[in-house]
Structure 1
Amino acid sequence: MKVQEIARYCLRVLIITVANIYTIPSYFTWFLLLQPLRIYHPKLFWRIESVLFQGLLKMVTTWLYTGGYTIIESGDSLEGIMDDEAVVLVNHQSTSDVPVVMSALHNKSLVLGKIMWIMDDIFKYTNFGWISYFHGDFFILQGKEARTDSLSKLENHINTIYKTTFKKWIVLFPEGGFLRKRRFRSQEFAKKNQLPVLQHVTLPRVGALKVIMDNLTSHKAVNGGVTGSRSEEKTLKWIIDMTIGYPGATPYNSHGMFVGYWPPHTIDIHYRVYSIEDIPTETQGLTNWMYDRYQEKEVLLHEFYTKSKPLDESDNQKRCMPRIKRQDLELDKLVAGFFYVFYLCSFIIFWSYVYSPVICLLRLIMSFVF
Structure 2
Amino acid sequence: MVPLPSLSIRSESGKNGGRISVGLLMLFAWGAPSCSSGTNQVSAFDPDDPRRGQLTDSRREDPASARKPSANLEGGQIWLQGAVPSPFSGSVPVSDTEFVDQQTKAGLQWLRARSVESSLGSMAQLAVPAGPHSIGATVTLKFLLANRFPRELEVLSPPEGMMVEIHWVLRKWNPYGGVEVLERTAVARMEGPFALAPGESLEESTSFALEPQGGSANLWEVRLQAQIRCDGVRMGEHELPVQQIRFEPVLFPALPPGWEDLQERPLERLAQALALATPQVDPHLLPCLVLAPENSRNEAMAMLMEALRQAPAEHRVAAICTGLRWLSGETMGNEPAAWQEWWGRRTMPR
Common fold, TM-score beyond 0.5?
no
Structure 2 length as normaliser, TM-score? 0.23
Higher strand share: 2
By relative contact order (CA 8 Å, sep 6+), the higher-ranking structure is 1
* TM-score between the two structures when normalised by the length of structure 1: 0.22
Q: Name the larger-Rg structure.
A: 2
Q: Which structure has the highest helix share of the two?
A: 1
